[in-house]
């Protein structure tokens, strides 16, 4: 399966349009969006961001980020693409979603405690599922901020160490564009799409591989 993995769009519609156009001739099998469609805006702004992606008519799964407005999760659910706190199956592939982030110093719109993150994972995950999480796991290349500190979710890391899902697609930390491994789990932070970054991921025989790309 060929997956287009994107995150952190922050309302940059022109970049989304450019990305969608680049995939018109050879669309992926699945599109996964790891949150922050908007920059503290609501459903109308989110829909404008999503329109070019949905026009590809490819199965799409998304979570909201900590900077998305309060009504964005409802929009994602109405569109049938919302994955937060649920398990979605696409072409036989299970995906569990975590929207928002862990607790930050900035009091953003959607923040979850480590206990809430752990509960979402344990209530929904089935062996072999992929994880779509706006917040990255702690102590990886995907959660390192510019100062060098790691700021990801410890609950997510613990769960990955225990369950070893094939893939975690994440975002949130703009400067932490990376592909990393945690045991047998591939951790992909494509980098923010508003800067032109995205990822192409392949799932073959239960194993994930990824390339970081730029428009």
DSSP 3-state of 83: coil
State the average pLDDT over residues 129-158. 98
Count of helices and strands (H, E) across the chain: 5, 13
How confident is residue 153, by pLDDT bands cut at 50, 70 and 90? very high
The helix (H) or strand (E) run that includes residue 63 is none
CATH topology of domain 2-214: Purple Acid Phosphatase; chain A, domain 2 (3.60.21)
For 101-121, what is each residue's pLDDT tens digit?
999 988 999 999 999 999 999
| Per-residue model confidence (pLDDT) at position 43 | 97
For 70-112, what is each residue's pLDDT tens digit?
999 999 999 999 999 999 999 999 999 999 999 998 899 999 9
Domain ranges of the chain: 2-214
Helix axes of 13-22 and 43-54: crossing angle, nearest 10 degrees: 20
| Per-residue model confidence (pLDDT) at position 49 | 98
Q: For the chain, what is the mean pLDDT?
A: 98
For 46-73, what is each residue's pLDDT tens digit?
999 999 999 999 999 999 999 999 999 9
Query: Structure tokens of 14?
Result: 């022109």
Q: Identify the bridge partners of residue 169 per DSSP, sorted by sequence position.
A: 132, 188
For 169-207, what is each residue's pLDDT tens digit?
999 999 999 999 999 999 999 999 999 999 999 999 999
């Amino acid at each position: 399966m060929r997956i287009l993995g994107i995150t952190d769009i922050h309302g940059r519609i022109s970049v989304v349009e450019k990305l969608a156009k680049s995939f018109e001739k050879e669309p992926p099998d699945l599109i996964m969006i790891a949150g922050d469609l908007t920059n503290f805006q609501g459903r109308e702004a989110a829909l404008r961001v999503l329109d070019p992606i949905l026009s590809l008519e490819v199965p799409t799964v998304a979570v909201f980020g900590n900077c998305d407005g309060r009504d964005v999760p409802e929009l994602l659910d109405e569109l049938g693409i919302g994955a937060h706190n649920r398990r979605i199956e696409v072409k036989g592939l299970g995906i569990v979603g975590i929207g928002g982030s862990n607790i930050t110093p900035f009091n953003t719109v959607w923040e979850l405690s480590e206990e809430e993150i752990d509960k979402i994972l344990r209530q929904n995950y089935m062996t072999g599922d992929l994880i779509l999480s706006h917040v990255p796991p702690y102590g990886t290349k995907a959660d390192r901020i510019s100062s060098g500190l790691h700021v990801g979710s410890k609950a997510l890391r613990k769960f990955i160490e225990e369950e070893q899902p094939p893939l975690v697609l994440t975002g949130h930390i703009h400067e932490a564009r990376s592909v990393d491994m945690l045991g047998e789990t591939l951790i992909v932070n494509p980098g923010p799409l508003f800067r032109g970054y995205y990822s192409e991921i392949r799932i073959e025989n239960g194993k994930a591989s990824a390339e970081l790309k730029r428009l």
